[in-house]
Structure 1
Amino acid sequence: MVVSGAACLSASAVFVKLADIDAGTAAFLRCAVALVPLVPMLLHETRRRGPLPRHLWGYATVAGLFLGADYVMWTISVLDVGAAIATVLINVQVIVFPVLVRAFSGTRIPRRFLYASPLMLLGIALAAGVLQPGQQASHPVRGAVLGVAAGAAYAVYLCLSRLSGRHSPEHLTSPVCVSTAAAAGTAALIGTLTTGLPLDVPARAWGWITALALLGQVAAWLLINRASPRLAPGTSAALLLLQPVLAIGFGVLALGEKPSMTQLCGCALVLVTVRIANRAPGRAGRA
């Protein structure tokens, strides 16, 4: 489920570029259009399983606030530094997410994960093109900063969603719908104050926006939120690192982007170090 969700998320950067609309508008419409199928699904789930516990509404709302901020910052980063590199930058979550889970729930972080963290950061930096700051990037510094900030906000969303799923595993659609609604409001507010929120979207862009909403929002988060509470946080974060690899492939095929060998090596370094950090130490650990 997490791998499938990562595949849906990795295509989002390509959809944003192909839609060719303002960053704030893309972030807002991604969530607003997703509510069209999510609201009926929430009503159906409420009839079958009862309402989402009241305290979890707060979890989902705060998670959505961070997700909305993540979307605006990440979308600007996509337009600044390219789809593939922006998706690599956001994967700073691989370090922030386990740290947050440790702080809020006491889940231990494996020592080998801590040792591998500097190499993960180095890999992210290489993949982001730090050694080639001007390559295929209109605003490389702003794009890099916003990409990393989006990754931190993304990690907060993952952490709160995981806590919600562990408290009430029978509710799946409800927290996703509440978070999506909060993210839509946050994206609209931030977009209005920063990039603006023009809603006169060309007709040709609506197909890409719909794909972004259905795959990059509805399908991705239903899959990830169902599976994440059942996995160790480091495992979830590691599987979500498939996003940059797939995003680079999508960027090359659909957008003609040409990542350098250094950037590809950075992606490989991230994946290898995360694999080592999350490897079971022995037979008992594997069991």
Structure 2
Amino acid sequence: MSTTPSKLNASGLLLGCIIFGLGSLIVAHVNLGGWAMSFWRLAVAGVLFAILAVITKQRLPRSRAAIGYGILAGVFLGLDLALWHESIYAVGPGISTLLNSLQIFFLALIGFVWFSERQTVLQLVGLCLALLGVVLIGSPEFGHNIHAAWGFVTGIVSGAMLAASMTFIKKTHDAEPTPIFALMGLVSVGGVLAMIVPMLLIDGGHILPSTWSEVMWILIYGAVMQCIAWGLIAYFIPRLSLAVTGLLLLSEPVAALIIDYTWLDKPITGMQWLGAVMTMTAIYLGTMKPKQRALRRYRFFARFYKRSSEQAD
């Protein structure tokens, strides 16, 4: 029996989400500061995107507004990654990735304030459910982890930074349609420049990898998690229904939680598992919105990727 296209698309998106989530495992094992890891991830990805842009003959936008928005998107992406890394160090990959996934609610807030988008009842219910879920996750963590407060703050704020980055990528495309490789090159430049000063001030002696093994993992982190995983996600999202997409995107925090519990031996209580289920249910409810608004909010990466593929052909 042949595999249907829908199953192939779902498998592709699932693979992209799981690979993306596995990045937290690399962060947890490489002895670099969170800001330095963000710098190197974006630097490696930036070189690769520049090479791909040259090969496919993609050019930077001519609009100054588009260039500015693209660089701003990179600044916020760099902040997102750095704060997510700090959260990983404080509370582990599983909880930090789950907190970062709350960016969906920050996107809803941006949509309400900036684009005058009305919120659905399901989104409001999901927000309340997410808040309760975070409380259940946090209560046991605060009881035994002195770094819990820092981990939760940085994890949640990282989601806000990711939402801002995605918004400015949309603004870049609104100012001037920009091919994906050229756009992500701009994003990488913005992120790298934004990381230099805080990396030097905060990370101190944890800026450079100390072994060839760490160099290899940094290269993998930048190439695989930033380029390949994002490419898979962007390519397969428009080929699936919104409901299926919302469910599959939850595989990233699920994978991180399972890895955290089984591989890194992090103690996760029954209350925390319940909170995780509630939070992920809330994230799924947050994806259930009218199709056109969902496309504007989640699928602009896919439009860039599709357009760049057509130009390359």
Flag whether TM exceeds 0.5 (same fold). yes
**1:44 is aligned with what amino acid?**
I
**2:130 is aligned with what amino acid?**
M
Report if aligned partners of 2:31, 2:209 keep a CA contact under 8 Å in 1: no
Q: Partner of 1:183 in structure 2? A: 191
Query: Per the alignment, do residues 125 and 90 of structure 1 end up closer, same or farther by CA in structure 2, a change over 3 Å counting?
Result: farther
Q: Which one of the candidate residues 202, 206, 223 is aligned to 2:211? A: 202
Query: Per the alignment, do residues 53 and 180 of structure 1 end up closer, same or farther by CA in structure 2, a change over 3 Å counting?
Result: same
Q: Partner of 1:42 in structure 2? A: 53
Q: Which one of the candidate residues 131, 138, 148 is aligned to 1:140? A: 148
Query: Per the alignment, do residues 60 and 234 of structure 1 end up closer, same or farther by CA in structure 2, a change over 3 Å counting?
Result: farther
**Distance between the aligned counterparts of 2:160 and 2:67, measured in 1?**
22
Query: Per the alignment, do residues 273 and 71 of structure 1 end up closer, same or farther by CA in structure 2, a change over 3 Å counting?
Result: closer
Query: Per the alignment, do residues 228 and 105 of structure 1 end up closer, same or farther by CA in structure 2, a change over 3 Å counting?
Result: farther
Report if aligned partners of 2:120, 2:289 keep a CA contact under 8 Å in 1: no
| 1:241 shift after superposition | 3.6
| 1:278 shift after superposition | 4.1
Q: SS of 2:210's equivalent? A: coil
**Distance between the aligned counterparts of 1:275 and 1:186, measured in 2?**
32
Query: Per the alignment, do residues 186 and 249 of structure 1 end up closer, same or farther by CA in structure 2, a change over 3 Å counting?
Result: same
Which ranges of structure 1 fall in alignment gaps of 5 or more residues? 282-287
Q: Partner of 1:264 in structure 2? A: 273
Q: Partner of 1:31 in structure 2? A: 42
| 1:162 shift after superposition | 3.4
Query: Per the alignment, do residues 215 and 130 of structure 1 end up closer, same or farther by CA in structure 2, a change over 3 Å counting?
Result: farther
Report if aligned partners of 1:94, 1:234 keep a CA contact under 8 Å in 2: no
Q: Partner of 1:158 in structure 2? A: 166
**Distance between the aligned counterparts of 1:62 and 1:194, measured in 2?**
22
- Taking structure 2 as the reference length, the TM-score comes to 0.77
- Taking structure 1 as the reference length, the TM-score comes to 0.83
Q: Which one of the candidate residues 5, 8, 14 is aligned to 2:19? A: 8
Q: Partner of 1:66 in structure 2? A: 76
Q: Which one of the candidate residues 187, 208, 216 is aligned to 2:225? A: 216
**Distance between the aligned counterparts of 2:87 and 2:170, measured in 1?**
26
**2:125 is aligned with what amino acid?**
Y
**1:194 is aligned with what amino acid?**
I
Deviating runs (4+, > 6 A) in structure 1? 227-238
**Distance between the aligned counterparts of 1:235 and 1:191, measured in 2?**
39
| 1:157 shift after superposition | 1.0
| 1:85 shift after superposition | 1.3
**Distance between the aligned counterparts of 1:85 and 1:185, measured in 2?**
28
Measured on the aligned residues, the alpha-carbon RMSD in Å equals 3.0
Query: Per the alignment, do residues 102 and 118 of structure 1 end up closer, same or farther by CA in structure 2, a change over 3 Å counting?
Result: same
| 1:251 shift after superposition | 2.0
Q: Which one of the candidate residues 134, 145, 149 is aligned to 2:157? A: 149
Which ranges of structure 2 fall in alignment gaps of 5 or more residues? 1-11, 291-313
Report if aligned partners of 2:38, 2:82 keep a CA contact under 8 Å in 1: yes
| 1:9 shift after superposition | 2.4
| 1:148 shift after superposition | 1.4
Q: Partner of 2:94 in structure 1? A: 84
| 1:236 shift after superposition | 7.0
Query: Per the alignment, do residues 104 and 222 of structure 1 end up closer, same or farther by CA in structure 2, a change over 3 Å counting?
Result: farther
Which moved further from structure 2: 270-279 or 31-40?
A: 270-279
Query: Per the alignment, do residues 254 and 56 of structure 1 end up closer, same or farther by CA in structure 2, a change over 3 Å counting?
Result: farther
Q: Partner of 1:112 in structure 2? A: 122
Query: Per the alignment, do residues 138 and 220 of structure 1 end up closer, same or farther by CA in structure 2, a change over 3 Å counting?
Result: farther
Report if aligned partners of 1:14, 1:254 keep a CA contact under 8 Å in 2: no
Residues 121-161 of structure 1 show CA distances to partners (whole Å, capped at 9, x for unaligned) of: 2213323x3333144x4511112111111111111112222
Query: Per the alignment, do residues 98 and 229 of structure 1 end up closer, same or farther by CA in structure 2, a change over 3 Å counting?
Result: farther
**2:188 is aligned with what amino acid?**
T
| Aligned residue pairs, count | 277
